[in-house]
Structure 1
Amino acid sequence: MLAPSRIIRSTPAQAGGGRDRDALIQKAHDAIEQGSRSFAAASRLFDRHTRERVWLLYAWCRRCDDIADGQDMGGELSTDGDPAKRIRAIRLLTQRAFEGLPTADPAFDAFGLVARECGLTREMAEDVIEGFALDAAGWRPRTEMDLARYCYHVAGAVGVMMAVVMGVQKADSELLDRACDLGIAFQLANIARDINEDDKADRCYIPVEWLVQEDIEPGQHMKPHHRQELADITARLIRRMERHEAMARVGAAHLPFRSRWAVLSAARIYGAIGREVVARGKAAWDHRVVIGSAAKARHVAAAFWEAARNRPKVPAEPPEWTRGDILIEVRMAGPVAPPSFEPLPDEFDGQARQTEK
């Protein structure tokens, strides 16, 4: 009667850790509404089936970002705790989600559900997690390819996962390349807009070689006397953004209408952010660039007609960075901190195990 098999019961593996699907979708919807108004607006254009899955994936991305930075829905960065432990928690909770085990965190359970439904892989997830690991390690890009690698991890790899969620086959490398282009375009716009906020958090995503070319001293790029040089660097970022944005439009042509409309709406909104940063020149960081509700509505309407015509032009100048080249660099570089299989940090382990009882 005291045999271990009689008293120890393993937790059954279930998609979403056994949580109700509708409840996970509602939690994921709340996360995207709080975390990103731009993505929330674009996500409403998907058909219901795709929209729900997009929300589930977004919830995981948002939660990983918050854990990695000690934030709440993208708020102020925290310097408390050990960043390496946070990354380990993300990896282990994601591992549990893939195994169908409860995590005590709806965002990770949501990821387990959408991963099971759409066939997302652990390698895809690890490519995204590596972006958080780079930030946790205080990593900064030295070269353009370093910047490409970072943009891939934090956004291009997410674009690949989003494409699979939209129904793109994992074997369709051409469409996955275009989805990666869209994610990279978004990230370049974010980097240009958030230079000031990143500097306050002791982060900088401008390649060191670019700063050297502009004669900007280390750590001095936000000083007033370097505003023109910084504006020039920003223009350089946005030129790259526009190349990736144009290639993403070519890929969007192969998506169903509603998915195409949503993707083109997001591309227009983020493209507008990047171009507004450039238009403001030296004053770009006096106030954070935002796209208001009325302007978003105009971009969504314009994207509707663009999706309906569905005649994108192949850009005369394709992006200098390709997903294939970036992946070669990524695999050669290896993870900044190899995955650990040590137990979860206490603050996460107690919650996860409570759900197994």
Structure 2
Amino acid sequence: MRARFILEDGTECVGTAFGATKQTLGEVVFNTGLTGYQEILSDPSYRDQIVTMTYPLIGNYGINRDDFEAVVPHIKGFVVREHCEQPSNWRNSQTLDSLLKDYEIPGIAGIDTRMLTRKIRYHGTMKGLITTSTAPLEELLALLRQTPMPTDQVARVSTKSIYNCKGFGPRILLIDFGAKNGILRELLKRGCDVVVAPYNITASEIKRIQPDGILLSNGPGDPKDVPQAINTIREILGQYPLFGICLGHQIFALAAGADTGKMKFGHRGGNHPVKELASGRTYITSQNHSYAVKADSLTGTELVITHLALNDESIEGLSAPGKQAFSVQYHPEASPGPEDSSYLFDQFLQLVTKSKEEQSYAKTR
């Protein structure tokens, strides 16, 4: 079936529909990953976004039951150069097309994704529309330009209630702004007693849980759209060891007095080089974010830059040593090939262990 892809600047591309045959509207972004489309489809950080894959062949290894980052896909639409209808992989249990149909997510293939990516890089992120409608372009453009983007993504992807994943190690409170399964997996692998809580948990509720440490998860959208979470973290900062990832990194920065802003087209892919300033070592990281911490806003705060992106020198890591807190903009739980960023979870748990020992020592004096 013929499908159309329209950008708010008036660009129109004609391709072939796959997945659900419905009209969808969202923010258009691109991901440079060569593999990992299943993880991308199900990452809550992509809520309300139409994702363009820069790698030309997508769907060739199908879908399996193990690689989901959430129970259901979260993207709004999928744009690819070539859609593989007959995948081949020993773990394959479903085609990409059937998965998108199951969750009513439209896709479009046969698009010049190189042109589209260059346009987004040059002009910045913009809204887009996937449709099988034959309506005039002017009519669809008017709809696209007049439709505002939502700001409640975190509320829609966060857990609605507190639950416990029992372990025999330290109690870690995972505040869910759209947490990927990989974060929970890394904590459980290390024996943590994980309590998962909604994004709008209060400081008094946190104190009742009595965590040994707090992890702020990734999530979609603008961190300033969750002011309640920022205020809560500001209130408890320094009382517990804290580790922030992606959106959690930005919320930590805002709570500590820094500022954030929207990037021109963001970072999305599994090949972003990040330098750890203390060691001089470069890590190849997985990233997915539209916002970043502003370097000039750190003046007057306790925050110290620990990591920088080598492509654009944006801030990729922060630390507040006096508050027992640190964060990274990238995803240490992801495995884009290298798995060496997972040491950050060990670093966090070392901070938790040290804090518990200091508290125990203080009680005996």
Classify the TM-score, shorter chain: under 0.3
The normalised TM-score by structure 1 is: 0.27
Higher normalized helix content (fraction of residues)? 1
**Which structure dedicates a bigger proportion of its chain to strand?**
2
Compare relative contact order (CA 8 Å, sep 6+) and give the higher one, 1 or 2: 1
